[in-house]
Amino acid sequence: MSVNTKENFGKYDFVGNINLFGGLSILVFVISVIYLGIRGINYGIDFKGGTEIQVRFEKPVTIDQIRKTVEDLKLGEVGVQGIGEGSEYIIRFVGQKGKTDKETNENLNAAIAKVKESLTTQYADAGADIRRVDSVGPQVGAELKRSGLLAVFYCLLMILIYVSMRFDYNYSPGAIACLFHDAVVTLAIFVMVGKEVNVPILAAILSLIGFSLNDTIVVFDRIRETRDSYKDRGWPFIINKAINDMLGRTFITAGSLFVSALCLYIFAGGVVSDIAFVITVGLIFGVYSSIFIAAPLILFIEKLKSATRAA
């Protein structure tokens, strides 16, 4: 990255690299969208329905033993995931659908009973302890998925309105582009590593959107403050100075949250670790997009307006 020695601020020329990083951002975003479209999203039981049983053993039991035990029950699609370093596992299965909702529920209850009985009987010496059983019906799961997508849509819509009212329409596209970029790329990486998307993960992505917006708004505020003092220097100088002025604040704020989320990801287990993973990855792209996408887009819009007026 080049140093802005011409303006004698001794700071980085972010605007000078707008084409490079803008192209890189578009490429990463497009790859993420294509990957999600081809690979699909691995929804958890919250969204597709099914049952999740958490079991803990006092003595060591391997994941292969648990998987074989559950598969022998012929419950259909079954997933087994280890938690932490001990003998604690989460067993997920969808169960058989019946002709009616009542029959489906009866099949699900029978499957849960089979799993619990099989685990407590076969692993009695290992001290099997059923710690949690969560079930979500297919209709409820579909409704949760629909509500989750609507929550993301309304969130982005309200942010668009908020930024337009607080600043003007020149700033809104940059903020929305940032949020789409951060959410889609983070989701693609999350799916790529083989994790399930459920309600807590959706909440983590919405939280990430909020943090990314906060960082972007801070830069936008600085641009607005700098604009009146340096309006004769042009938009490239104004945007570059505003980003450099807020660079220390950005790294301190994001760095503090990054360390906290990274510790949770390393030392926590289960869904907490997954949430921390989303925050950790999302923070990196959130800081990146605030610097290289949101603010430089203002320059692009200004150039577009000038070209339109000239035409």
User: Predicted confidence band at 137 (pLDDT cuts at 50, 70, 90)?
Assistant: low
- What's the rounded mean pLDDT across residues 38-45? 79
Domain shared by 216 and 117, yes or no: no
pLDDT score, position 8: 43
Closest among 153, 172, 177 to 288, alpha carbons compared: 177
| Pairwise CA distance, residues 198 & 195, whole Å | 10
Domain end position, chosen among 120, 136, 152: 136
Domain shared by 236 and 104, yes or no: no
Closest among 90, 95, 92 to 131, alpha carbons compared: 90
Domain shared by 32 and 175, yes or no: yes
CB atoms within 10 A of CB 253: 17
Domain end position, chosen among 112, 136, 160: 136
Domain shared by 109 and 164, yes or no: no
Domain shared by 100 and 24, yes or no: no
Residue 220 inside a domain? The answer is yes
CATH number at residue 233: 1.20.1640.10
Domain shared by 207 and 276, yes or no: yes
Strand partners, 92: 52, 79
pLDDT score, position 34: 92
Q: Are 280 and 259 in contact (CB under 8 A)?
A: no
Domain shared by 193 and 268, yes or no: yes
Does the structure show a pLDDT above 50 at 6?
Answer: no
Residue 5 inside a domain? The answer is no
Domain shared by 102 and 148, yes or no: no
Domain end position, chosen among 101, 121, 136: 136
- Encode burial over 192-215: b for 16+ CB neighbours within 10 A, e otherwise: eeebbbbbbbbebbeebbebbbeb
Domain shared by 258 and 306, yes or no: yes
Strand partners, 80: 91
Domain shared by 61 and 207, yes or no: no
Residue 200 inside a domain? The answer is yes
Residue 120 inside a domain? The answer is yes
User: Predicted confidence band at 31 (pLDDT cuts at 50, 70, 90)?
Assistant: very high
Angle at 149 between CA 213 and CA 263, to 5 degrees: 55
Domain shared by 124 and 171, yes or no: no
- Name the residue range of residue 99's domain: 50-136
Task: Quick: pLDDT tens for 75-97.
Answer: 766 777 777 666 788 877 776 66
- What's the rounded mean pLDDT across residues 110-130? 80
Does the structure show a pLDDT above 70 at 310?
Answer: no
Of the two residues 10 and 283, the one the predictor is more confident about is 283
Closest among 289, 281, 278, 283 to 202, alpha carbons compared: 278
Query: What length does the chain have?
Result: 311
Q: Are 293 and 183 in contact (CB under 8 A)?
A: no
Closest among 259, 260, 161, 272 to 213, alpha carbons compared: 161
Average pLDDT, the chain: 77
Task: Quick: pLDDT tens for 178-216.
Answer: 888 888 899 899 888 888 787 888 888 888 888 878 878
The first and second tokens of residue 167, run together, are 């600043």
- Give the chain's domain count: 2
Residue 9 inside a domain? The answer is no
Q: Are 296 and 18 in contact (CB under 8 A)?
A: yes
- What's the rounded mean pLDDT across residues 23-41? 87
Residue 306 inside a domain? The answer is yes
CATH number at residue 118: 3.30.70.380
State how far Cα 212 lies from the chain centre. Answer: 11
Domain shared by 151 and 116, yes or no: no
